[in-house]
Amino acid sequence: MWITFLAVLILFILWNTTLIGYRDRNVEPLGVDESKVCCPEATSIMLKQGSNTAILLVHGFPSTPSVYHYSAKRFSDEGMDVYAPLLPGFGTDPKTFSHTTFTQWFSYLSSYYEQLRASYDTLHVLGISMGGMMTLKLGETYCSSELAPDSLTSIAAPVVYNSIRDGVFTDPKQYLARTFALFTASIKPHVVNGYPNGEDGSELWYGYGGTFVRPGLSLVYAMREVRKNLGKITCPLFAIHDKGDRTVPFKNLAIITNENKSSDFRKLETQMGSFSHSRHALLLYRSIQEELTTTIIEFLHDKENRYAQA
């Protein structure tokens, strides 16, 4: 009896921690109805001026394009057409979002990217958090093809959630998420229309609050393939992470650095002051957004100048 109990316990632990046999339940394509956004700040950002160069900005989980309200204008001022789309399920109804998956979000983003790639001579991609992870996945998907992006910039991108081997532990509760997902899609999902008590720009964060069990499980599972395929990234890559990030462990930057195969790779380790915010969505914070955006613009222009001279 004890052997049977131990065997069941081991299988239960492995089923939760390894996610063996997991697959996204919902994979059908989704669209975005921006007439249903939870607040005006959640809408897509699109700044077009007829340029031959564009930048695609990808928001995080469970965020919205609002994190780019400052940098989008800066990129536009530099002569780029700017696109920061709202991904399907985000920024509208958190209960509906609870039944969407990474497969659906990335499928939408891939189609969006391909349309932009066909329309511009130069196309850059930048993402924060999950958006940074998606940026890496776009590189893995397209770098070796005729649809390759001209550059990738990832900010605070997660490629590992919990890993004993890598010494990365984002949240131990995630080890039980698969079990909880059998019974609930989310816990206390709600809309966040900014944080009145925030500081340094964090008060301007708009998205969802609560615990999104099934979408979160889908996201964590997708990290495995992104990490596995980092070697397929050969496009110019700029990876950025703050040492004090309280949402995505800083050790993710080392993994990206060591495992990508870009011949034109650059990394930046930032270290913010003593703020109560998570030091995660870096382009949202007033104390760092100007300098960091300028640094990113210099990186983008460097890529453009090299291609022009080639």
pTM of the model: 0.96
- Per residue in 57-85, pLDDT tens? 999 999 999 999 999 999 999 999 999 99
- Between 17 and 126, the more confident residue is 126
Distance CA 129, CA 205 (A): 14
Give the pair of three-digit tokens for residue 230: 């980092």
Q: Mean pLDDT, to the nearest integer, of 240-261? A: 98
At residue 37, the pLDDT reads: 97
- Per residue in 78-111, pLDDT tens? 999 999 999 999 999 999 999 999 999 999 999 9
| 189 residue type, one letter | P
Give the chain's end-to-end CA distance (angstroms, integer): 71
Residue 11 lies in a domain: no
Residue 19 lies in a domain: no
For 92, the domain range is 45-309
Q: Which range, of 14-18, 118-122, 288-292, averages the lowest pLDDT?
A: 14-18
pLDDT of 307 above 80: no
At residue 3, the pLDDT reads: 85
Residue 5 lies in a domain: no
Q: How many residues does the chain have?
A: 310
CATH code of residue 110: 3.40.50.1820
pLDDT of 123 above 90: yes
Q: Give the number of domains in the chain.
A: 1
Residue 17 lies in a domain: no
At residue 306, the pLDDT reads: 59
Is there a contact between 55 and 153 (Cβ–Cβ < 8 Å)?
A: no
Residue 33 lies in a domain: no
The candidate with the shortest Cα–Cα distance to 253, out of 264, 268, 263, 237, is 268
pLDDT interval class at 8 (50, 70, 90): confident
Is there a contact between 67 and 132 (Cβ–Cβ < 8 Å)?
A: no
Helix axes 213-228, 130-142, angle to 10 degrees: 40
Residue 16 lies in a domain: no
Q: Which range, of 142-156, 249-263, 295-309, averages the lowest pLDDT?
A: 295-309
Residue 203 lies in a domain: yes
Is there a contact between 94 and 70 (Cβ–Cβ < 8 Å)?
A: no
pLDDT of 309 above 60: no
Residue 83 lies in a domain: yes
